[in-house]
Chains A and B, each alone.
Chain A
Amino acid sequence: MPDWSIKIVQSSSGDGAEFIPDLKGKTAGDPLECMVDDLVTWNNTTEEEHQPWPADNSYTALPNDQVLPRGGPNYLSDIIPAGGSSRPSYDVAQPASAPATWTVYYICALHPYVESERGTIIGNTY
């Protein structure tokens, strides 16, 4: 059961940040592909706080009642301080009635309108 890390880096354009799966050859915008119940954490290498937050497929933040309480299955992370990493770890649980492959869309809750601060996680069953 692997663990995965997603780097939050300063955007190459200079505005905002970008999410990059921490794997060789990956670039901003690439999805992180993983298996059900893998764990995902975010490594904030920028000098600002960020908070991954689940979104719908148009990258609109899901409302609190679909995400909270903290630590629930849709909760991705607390606010991550500059230079820190995420907590809790995100368990890529298969949503009820989801197909064998599903996508988790997320944005930064603190910068929801920064288009570069978007990412996807693709979950798969065994």
Chain B
Amino acid sequence: MRTNRVILFLLTLLLIAAVPASAQWIPCLGDSATGGAWTAPDLPTIPELVSTGGKLHATVVLTDEQQRLTFKTPPNAAPSDTNVIKCAPQYVRVFKGIGAMPPLPKTTGDYPDPMPGPTLRARLGDMIELTFLNQINPANFGDSIDRGDVNTGSGCDESSNGYPNKAGGGKDTYPDCFHGSSTANIHFHGTHTNPNSTGDNVFIEIRPSMRTGGKPVVTAASVATPFSDFFQRCERELGANVLSLWPHTWKDLPSAYTTRQEELLKKYDMTPNIKKLWPVDAAQIKRGDWPQYYMGAYPYCYQIPKYTDTVFPPPASTTEHMGHTGGPLSPPPQKPLQMGQSPGLHWYHAHKHGSTAIDVGNGMTGAFVIEGQYDDDFDKFYGAGWTRRQPVLVINQIGVTPNLERGKNGTNRVDKGPDFSVNGRLRPVMKMQRGEVKLWRIVNTSGRAGTHIMGMYTQAGQPAVDASGKPLFTYYQTAQDGVQFSPTNFGSPGFTNNQFLLAAGNRADLLVQAPMTPGVYNFMAKNEVDPSDLPGQNLVTLFSVNVTESTATGNAAKLMTTAPTFPPFLQDIQKAEVKGTKEVTFSTGPTFGEHRINHKKFDGEVGELVLLNTVEEWKVVNETFGPAISHPFHIHINPFQVTEVFDPNAALSSSAGPGTLTSTGTTTVTGTGTSFGTLRTGTVLSIPGQGFYTVLSVQSDTSLTLTGAGPTVTNSAYSINVPQYVFVNSPAPLPGQCYLNPTDPSTWKPCSSVPQPPAATPPSSTNNIWWDVFPIPSGITVTWANANTQKIPGYFKLRSRFVDYSGYYVIHCHILAHEDRGMMTVVEVAPAASPYSHD
């Protein structure tokens, strides 16, 4: 026995010696201890906090811990299922739900694996009462400060790679830079509620609790009494009037809490070399505004409004509106609730300006299921409690410090962000019975890439179809961004087994039926920041489905064909309802990496002003001209409908080009294995990660000239796009193409042959989709005779009802590094019209 032990010891030493010096990698979940194949992990169920008795009364703790994170190596490898994945213990900031069930899966290594924040589950009409605690130990991360403290540097996070200077070519400056990463708040994405005070307020900043003896001084116990008092009063105030914006002022919070907060903030302000926080709060309180800074704890309290009228618009009411958050104006007579909260899959995430990208990347996201008749109707068909057993699938790109703070000139940066995880796992496996139907509730919480859903594939990477080419799985989309589809769209061919984009922030519900053929199938996607990325992207597995031998029976094996009851307030917005128009411009440039709205970086000032209870139509413009980025537009509080999309880069047809091409940033492109001779002038080459380039002339099968400077690429894949839009009349446009005059902006819009979202036509139309995130088509630089150039922006038009809740919220790009760095502005919804009238 002793001899065996000695041999084992020596073998262990040899094994250790054989491992080359490298990072502190550790075995990943699913790695074989004996060097065998990796085993895909099971899809875990995310613990839930569920409302009872009409309220979601719970505690969410923001803490930090070392988790086992995955990294592709090398980091700049394109996303792929075949990349080498390594794991390392990493400090991350994460949400935990006290008492959330089921318990977290058992840790199988030295460090826990990632898990989204607890799924919040409530019902229309419920009160949301969340005790939010920030117990991060900020010293486990690099120093990251709140108020642009300049004594020790720029006020931004800093790195020895030079950040914040030369960030993407320019320079980031406070407050539009990465900073204050352990300070947090929660945005309840998709909720239609009070945007102020203790509602969906993203302007507040809750610092980590100060610590004594290594322990936070602000705890659940220390705020229990004042928060309990507060929640009880909140129930009374909002219970009496769902449209109340209570609490209005700092004095509406319990004095035990506000006094302690003042003490803590003043104590924090004694820290050397920082800008003080309490004077900011004090000035805001004096003005009657809601204060910005808090220490360790915050009570979120708001109601999920339930629309109870059977018609839309609702009959008028004489109730007085008492909701304005401040200001001298008398509130106008209150209208009844104009729109309810849509029941569906919503979500929540960190939204403190300057740290959304890193915090969301760390994993500070979670699903928020709001139940209603939509769920009841599914349960009526599939059985009681069915919807609660359906998989909630939280996609994220989990990682640590953003690319801009590391490496030089793009080296060793992560291409397209970290790999997609689902419920904290890479490529997990879900089980389904043969023929079983499930409702997949998917949210892309990534702060960067869109997930372009490609559909079901076999393990061999082929589309999962039978011998006749019919898909083995059937799925149809039943909701978008937490808003159910209308009966017209429910189960329609256009939304069945379709490929679609889940941009960062988007959600989709899919009603899915498994095939009768057992086996393991992959639900696959591509990374997309812009449609031009797609041709060069690999298929990656989001998750797999293991179809077992057992067979589903009864309704569990039937796709429900009748749409859930459609709430009246979701009927399409009619053109006649529109009372105002706006144009909002997102732009990247002139230096790449400078992101703005209306040519201005975020500064806290109001960028758009809307009158409460009016309907507006906005033209949302993208003046990004390369590399192409379809910035995902997001607005808080109210969803919108899209009525027009103009994508000047749209393709009439697209196909992968043969061979590869090389260009050094000049007009000349050389090919290897190409057949350029077949290309027509005006054809567009789409180059992954680079954008679109128009062919000016063709010299040979391996040489052509572009209309402007080309990309800098070597042996790159590319696709050949026959463009939808052409900007020269000679040669004549192909059938289906549209000519737009580059010198006449009035022609820069979709032509009649391009399908558009269903127009909202009277008397009523209910087949347009509701969104809260929509990618704005990128712009294009076109060149024509005599080398004239013109930049033509992309755009879409939205209509939204700015109803029910006045106050301040934001629009921003949901590529969160763009938001942190300036691509956000404030929307003010004012409760009263101008006092002037000429009637």
| Residue positions of A touching B, CB distance < 8 A | 1-5, 21-24, 32-39, 41, 43-45, 70-76, 78, 80-81, 83-91, 93, 101, 122, 124, 126
In the bound complex, what is the Cα–Cα distance between A2 and B414 (angstroms)? 11
From residue A63, how far is it (CB to closest CB) to chain B in Å?
18
Contacts of B385 in A (CB 8 A): none
Determine if A71 and B73 form an interchain contact, defined as CB atoms under 8 angstroms apart: no
Please indicate which of the listed interface residues B91, B153, B162, B406 has the most CB atoms of chain A within 10 Å of its own CB: B406
From B24, B159, B414, contact of A21 by CB (8 A)? B24
Q: A71-B153, A78-B152, A89-B401 are in contact. Are A34 and B24 (CB under 8 A)?
A: yes
Residue among A1, A36, A71, A76 with max Cβ neighbours from chain B (10 Å):
A1
Interface residue SS majority, chain B: loop
Closest 7 CB pairs of A and B: A88-B158, A87-B143, A41-B142, A126-B74, A37-B412, A91-B161, A89-B142
**If A89-B160, A93-B161 touch, does A2 touch B406 (CB 8 Å cutoff)?**
no
Question: Are B160 and A85 interface neighbours, CB within 8 A?
Answer: no
Contact, CB under 8 Å: A85 / B142: yes
Given A2-B88, A84-B139, A93-B405 contact (CB < 8 Å): no
CB distance from B157 to the nearest CB of A (A): 7
* Selected contact of B22 from candidates A33, A71, A89, A91, CB within 8 Å: A33
A sample of 27 cross-chain residue pairs with beta-carbon separation below 8 angstroms, ordered by A number, consists of: A1-B75, A1-B414, A2-B71, A2-B400, A3-B142, A3-B400, A3-B401, A5-B91, A5-B141, A23-B24, A24-B89, A33-B21, A37-B161, A38-B406, A39-B159, A41-B141, A71-B160, A71-B162, A73-B161, A78-B152, A83-B211, A84-B139, A85-B139, A85-B142, A87-B152, A88-B158, A126-B412
Of A1, A74, A76, A101, which contacts B399 at CB under 8 A?
Answer: A1
Q: Which B residues lie within 8 Å of A70 (CB)? A: 153
A-chain residues with CB within 8 Å of residue B327 when the two chains form the complex? none
Q: Is the CB of B23 within 8 A of A91?
A: no
Within 8 A of A (CB), among B61-100: 66, 69, 71, 73-75, 88-91
Among B91, B160, B408, the most chain A Cβ lie within 10 Å of the Cβ of B160
The answer to whether A39 and B24 have CB atoms under 8 Å apart is: no
* Bound Cα distance A4, B401 (Å): 11
User: When A and B form their complex, what is the total count of cross-chain residue pairs whose Cβ atoms lie within 8 Å?
Assistant: 136
Q: List the interface of chain B (C-beta within 8 A of A).
A: 21-24, 66, 69, 71, 73-75, 88-91, 110-111, 138-143, 152-153, 157-163, 211, 272, 399-401, 403, 405-408, 411-414
Interface of A is mostly: loop
Q: Is the pair B21, A124 in contact by a Cβ cutoff of 8 Å?
A: yes
> In the complex, what's the smallest C-beta–C-beta distance from A121 to chain B, in angstroms?
11
**Residue of B22, B71, B163 with most partner-chain A CB within 10 A:** B22
Taken together as a complex, chains A and B put the C-alpha atoms of A32 and B111 apart, in Å, by 18
User: Assuming A1-B413, A3-B90, A5-B91, what are 5 further A-B pairs, CB within 8 angstroms?
Assistant: A5-B140, A24-B111, A33-B23, A87-B158, A89-B401
Tell me how far the C-beta of B410 lies from the nearest C-beta in chain A, rounded to whole angstroms: 11
Least CB distance, A3 to chain B, in whole angstroms? 4
CA distance A2 to B158 in the complex (A): 16
Are the CB atoms of A38 and B23 closer together than 8 Å? Answer: yes
User: In the complex the two chains form, is A124's CB within 8 Å of B23's CB?
Assistant: yes
Contact of B412 (CB < 8 Å), options: A1, A3, A41: A1
Chain B positions within 8 Å of A32 at CB level: 24
Q: Does B71 lie within 8 Å of A1, measured CB to CB?
A: yes
Contact call B75/A93, Cβ cutoff below 8 A: no
With A and B bound together, what is the CA distance between A22 and B65 in angstroms? 12
Chain B residues with CB below 8 A from A45, complex form = 139
CB distance from B538 to the nearest CB of A (A): 19
A88 touches B159 (CB 8 A): yes
CA distance A35 to B654 in the complex (A): 40
**In the complex, what residue of chain B is closest to A90 when comparing beta carbons?**
B160
CA A22 to CA B153, docked complex, whole Å: 26
Q: A20 vs B140: C-alpha distance in the bound complex, in angstroms?
A: 13
Partner pick for A93 among B21, B69, B140, B160, CB 8 A cutoff: B160
In the complex, are the beta carbons of A2 and B23 less than 8 A apart?
yes
* A88 and B414 alpha carbons, distance in the complex (Å): 21
Residue of A nearest to B412 (CB): A37
Q: How far is the CA of A65 from the CA of B141 in the complex (A)?
A: 28
Assembly CA distance A85 to B143 (angstroms) = 5
Across-interface contacts of A78 in B (CB, < 8 A): 152-153
Note all chain B residues with C-beta closer than 8 A to A87.
142-143, 152-153, 158
Residue of A nearest to B72 (CB): A1
User: Once the chains are docked, how many angstroms separate the CA of A27 from the CA of B57?
Assistant: 43
Q: How far is the CB of A31 from the nearest CB of chain B, in Å? A: 9
Contacting pair B142 A34 (CB below 8 A):
no
Known: A87-B152, A88-B153, A93-B408. A33 touches B24 (CB 8 A): yes
A85 touches which of B89, B140, B400 (Cβ 8 Å): B140
Which of B21, B71, B159 lies in contact with A89, CB distance below 8 A? B159
Asked if residues A91 and B88 are in contact (CB atoms below 8 Å), the reply is: no
Q: What residues of chain B lie closer than 8 Å to A122, measured between beta carbons?
A: 21
CB pair B24 A89 closer than 8 Å: no
B156 → A minimal CB distance (Å)? 10
**Cα distance, A75 to B160, chains bound together (Å):** 6
The residue on A at minimum CB distance from B165 is: A71
